[in-house]
Amino acid sequence: MIELILGGARSGKSALAEQLSVSSDLTLFYVATATAEDDEMRQRILHHRRQRGDGWQLIEEPVELARVLRENQSERHCILVDCLTLWVTNLLMLDDDARLHREKQLLLELLTEFSGYLVIVSNEVGLGLVPLGRLNRRFVDEVGFLHQAIAQQADRVIFTVAGIPQVIKGPGLY
């Protein structure tokens, strides 16, 4: 089962992803793509750790997402990835187009054969104005195309608004 949970900042997507993961009764893995580059980000990461609580095996991987998922997939595992947009940001900041393309392809290929329960959290960034700046526009494009590709393969896609999940593909939540 592959789930893609999209939403804006503070929309409730991570809390929903954690709730769905815990209710799976599988061994829980949390793949964090964030890097603590400053105090504000360190505080956000700490907040997420406290909110999650115990019971999770934490894997911090800012770039090689497909490798980590491949190494930890199992029918007995639930892997939560939070979040895809930070992962794309990390890849864009490497300033290596070949690496960005390769890592995205590896992820999409892995999804076709993934074993276990995978919950992917990502920010929906395409609902606003076209951003100023070439890098910002590229970010929105890369994330948008990646969301489309993952949504095609996902069993369920959920959009969260104000803490309320809206299933836009797949089975209902409750």
Taking 70 as the pLDDT cut, the residues of the chain under it are: none
pTM score > 0.85 for this model?
A: yes
Query: Residue 125: which region, alpha, beta or left (left: phi > 0; alpha: psi -120 to 50)?
Result: alpha
pLDDT for residue 39: 76
**Which is the catalytic residue, given 48, 77, 101, 147?**
48
Residue in this structure with the two tokens 């395409």, named with its chain if needed: 126
pLDDT tens for each residue of 150-169: 999 999 999 999 999 999 99
Q: Are 157 and 6 in contact (CB under 8 A)?
A: yes
CATH number of the structural domain 2-169: 3.40.50.300
What are the structural domain ranges in the chain?
2-169
pLDDT, residue 50, reads 72
Provide the pLDDT for residue 46. 74
Sheet holding 27-32, edge to edge: 56-60, 27-32, 77-82, 117-123, 2-7, 156-161, 164-169
Please say if 48 is a catalytic residue.
yes
